[in-house]
């Protein structure tokens, strides 16, 4: 029997093997990431494992997929449920960049501390918004909806196995093998010819719309390894002649703690695809939609910390307007130094970041104080940062945009259609978790248990951020 956790780890491996055979540059990226992580571990083991054990970090991947309809989203949610992955967060990328991105997204991932420790595989999942009039007029929407309604991305046998795995908490060996093969095959690049005129019509509006609605299947867009030093990785990839996008998205490199998420990618590669021309002939050609991405994860910020992050990014935009990536990075660093505390302790005491607590079994002599900060300072409790497990809308939009050769077009004078986490939850038929709630309850549960062990109660020590 393979549990949902075993299935998740096995699916991540299977997808990785499949994608590596399709995109050899991904294999290079994984090799370089593994080398970077080994070097960081050798240089400073404590620092290397501060945000997760090295075996977890080295196995860690996130994927990105894109679907066309609410029904497809619901089906893929069923597949992920079999893997112990639930929808977390809502990202609306429409209108965030100058690039045309007619999609909304969520991330499927494990939600408990235990499941994350076993395998934290997560998938950034986007769905087209075909009724958004800024992108699609009525006629095109009707054609697009009809095109999408004719395709079936996930075979019934896969969905039946997924329901069983979810209900029973896993699958027996034979069923698991079948499930993994079917699930992996859904994300392979299809040899089916692409209708050139249809694809190009959508591509004029948005490259992402064409990638989703211009073809009859879906595919994994990228798989992202996690590194412990993204700047070193960037240098090593560049030395190997791989062109990276010009900016590392998210926080800068600096001397203080890493927070949230830093990401970068290499440019989408030209891949051979077959095209059907207007006269019915089929010819060879190329499309560039799949790219390589890498990430470095930091500490999860509380809503107050996240608000500060968002304001810092606005300040960076203002101060670095019109400057190149290098100058922008210098501005980021300066803004970080001005606003963000440069120690974990201060991040914690100012309620900016999430931590877990555990009793140390020691502490200064005498009665333990009735205050969380004092309990940590006095050595009764140990505070360990909680890793950020989610994504950043602004960075995601930047990653999308930097990999599209054409910004597309949209009519900003039209009203966009309404989408939010409630819409997403209703379509999927499952709760869409609030990421902050997940971090908060993880922090709270650890503190309650730690206080219990000290014979203290929550009431006496006040509340957490």
* Size of the residue set binding Ni ion (CB under 5 A): 3
Nearer to ligand OOG, 78 or 218 (CB): 218
Site for ligand OOG in 367-396 (CB under 6 A): 391, 395-396
Enumerate residues 142-201 that contact ligand OOG by CB under 6 A.
none
Q: Is position 263 an interface residue for ligand OOG (rule: CB under 6 A)?
A: yes
Residue 423 burial (10 A CB sphere; 0-12, 13-18, 19+): middle
- Which residues neighbour 257 within 8 Å (Cβ) at sequence distance 6 or greater? 298, 299, 342, 343, 344, 347, 353, 385
Cβ neighbours, 10 Å, residue 272? 10
* Binding of Ni ion by 392 (CB under 5 A): no
Give the 3-state secondary structure of residue 216.
coil
Using CB under 6 A as the criterion, what x/- string covers residues 199-238 for binding ligand OOG?
Answer: ----------------------x-----------------
Does 107 help bind Ni ion (rule: CB under 5 A)?
A: no
Residues in a beta bridge with 355: 385
Would you say 295 or 356 has its CB closer to Ni ion? 295
Supply the minimum distance, in Å, between the C-beta of residue 64 and Ni ion: 5
CB of residue 247 vs ligand OOG: minimum separation in angstroms?
A: 13
Cα distance between residue 56 and residue 104, in whole Å: 29
Cα-flanking dihedrals φ and ψ of residue 228, to 5°? -95, -10
Q: Which of 293, 356, 390, 421 lies at the binding interface for Ni ion (CB under 5 A)?
A: 293
Asked if 101 interacts with ligand OOG (CB under 6 A), we say no
Q: Which two structure tokens, joined as six digits, stand for 339?
A: 């606003």
Q: How far is residue 464 CA from its own chain's centroid?
A: 27
Q: Which is nearer to Ni ion, 395 or 443 (CB)?
A: 395
Q: Is residue 129 helix, strand or coil?
A: coil
Neighbouring-strand partners of residue 358 = 382
Selection from ligand OOG, Ni ion, none that 443 binds (CB < 5 to 8 A by kind) is none
Q: Which residues 6+ apart lie within 8 Å of 235 measured at CB?
A: none
Residue 399 in contact with ligand OOG, rule: CB under 6 A: yes
Residue 126 contacts ligand OOG per CB under 6 A? yes
> Is 64 among the residues that bind Ni ion (CB under 5 A)?
yes
CB of 396 to ligand OOG, least distance (A): 3
Which residues have CB under 8 Å from 55's CB, separation 6+?
A: none
Interaction between residue 19 and ligand OOG (CB under 6 A)? no
**Minimum CB distance to ligand OOG, residue 429 (Å):** 23
Strands (E), 315-371: 355-359
Interacting partner of 100 out of ligand OOG, Ni ion, none (Cβ under 5 to 8 A depending on kind): none
Q: With CB cut-offs between 5 and 8 Å by kind, which of ligand OOG, Ni ion, none does residue 203 bind?
A: none
Q: Considering the rule CB under 6 A, would residue 66 count as an interface residue with ligand OOG?
A: yes
In angstroms, what CA-CA distances link 437 with 164, 300, 316, 379, 440?
29, 12, 28, 28, 5
Can residue 64 be called a binding residue for ligand OOG (CB under 6 A)?
A: yes
Which among 69, 25, 87 has a CA at the least distance from the CA of 434?
Answer: 87
CA angle 263, 47, 55 (to 5 degrees): 70
Interface residues with ligand OOG (CB under 6 A) are 64, 66, 124, 126, 221, 263, 293, 391, 395-396, 399-400
Interface residues with Ni ion (CB under 5 A) are 64, 224, 293
């Amino acid at each position: 029997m393979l549990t949902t956790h075993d299935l998740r780890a096995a699916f991540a491996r299977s997808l990785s093997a499949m994608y590596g055979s399709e995109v050899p540059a991904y294999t290079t990226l994984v090799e370089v990431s593994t080398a970077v992580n080994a070097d960081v571990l050798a240089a400073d083991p404590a620092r290397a494992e501060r945000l997760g054990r090295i075996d977890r970090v080295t196995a860690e991947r996130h994927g990105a997929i894109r679907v066309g309809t609410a029904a497809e989203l619901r089906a893929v949610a069923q597949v992920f449920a079999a893997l112990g992955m639930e929808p977390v967060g809502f990202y609306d990328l429409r209108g965030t960049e100058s690039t045309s991105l007619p999609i909304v997204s969520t991330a499927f991932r494990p939600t408990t501390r235990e499941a994350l420790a076993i395998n934290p595989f997560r998938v950034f999942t986007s769905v087209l918004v075909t009724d958004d009039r800024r992108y699609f007029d009525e006629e095109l929407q009707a054609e697009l909806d009809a095109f999408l309604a004719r395709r079936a991305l996930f075979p019934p046998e896969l969905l039946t196995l997924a329901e069983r795995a979810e209900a029973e908490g896993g699958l027996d060996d034979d069923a698991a093998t079948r499930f993994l093969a079917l699930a992996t095959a859904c994300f392979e690049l299809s040899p089916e010819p692409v209708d050139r005129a249809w694809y190009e019509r959508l591509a004029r509006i948005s490259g992402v719309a064409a990638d989703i609605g211009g073809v009859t299947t879906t595919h994994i867009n990228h798989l992202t390894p996690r590194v412990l030093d993204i700047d070193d990785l960037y240098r090593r990839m560049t030395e190997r002649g791989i062109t990276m996008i010009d900016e590392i998205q998210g926080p800068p490199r600096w001397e203080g703690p890493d927070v949230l998420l830093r990401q970068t990618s290499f440019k989408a590669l030209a891949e051979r695809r077959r095209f059907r021309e207007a006269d019915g002939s089929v010819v060879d050609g190329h499309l560039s939609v799949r790219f390589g991405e890498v990430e470095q994860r930091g500490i999860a910020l509380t809503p107050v910390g996240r608000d500060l992050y968002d304001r810092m990014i606005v300040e960076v935009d203002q101060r670095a307007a019109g400057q190149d990536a290098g100058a922008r990075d210098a501005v980021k660093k300066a803004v970080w130094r001005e606003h963000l505390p440069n120690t974990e302790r201060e991040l914690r005491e100012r309620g900016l970041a999430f931590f877990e607590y555990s009793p140390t079994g020691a502490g200064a002599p005498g009665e333990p104080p009735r205050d969380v900060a004092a309990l940590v300072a006095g050595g009764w409790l140990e505070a360990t940062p909680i890793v950020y497990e989610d994504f950043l809308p602004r960075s995601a939009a930047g990653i999308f945009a930097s990999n599209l050769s054409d910004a597309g077009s949209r009519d900003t004078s039209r009203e966009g259609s309404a989408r939010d986490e409630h819409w997403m939850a209703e379509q999927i038929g499952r709760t869409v978790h609030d990421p902050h709630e997940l971090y908060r309850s993880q922090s709270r549960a650890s503190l309650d248990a730690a206080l219990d062990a000290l014979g203290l109660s929550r009431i006496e020590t006040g509340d957490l951020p």
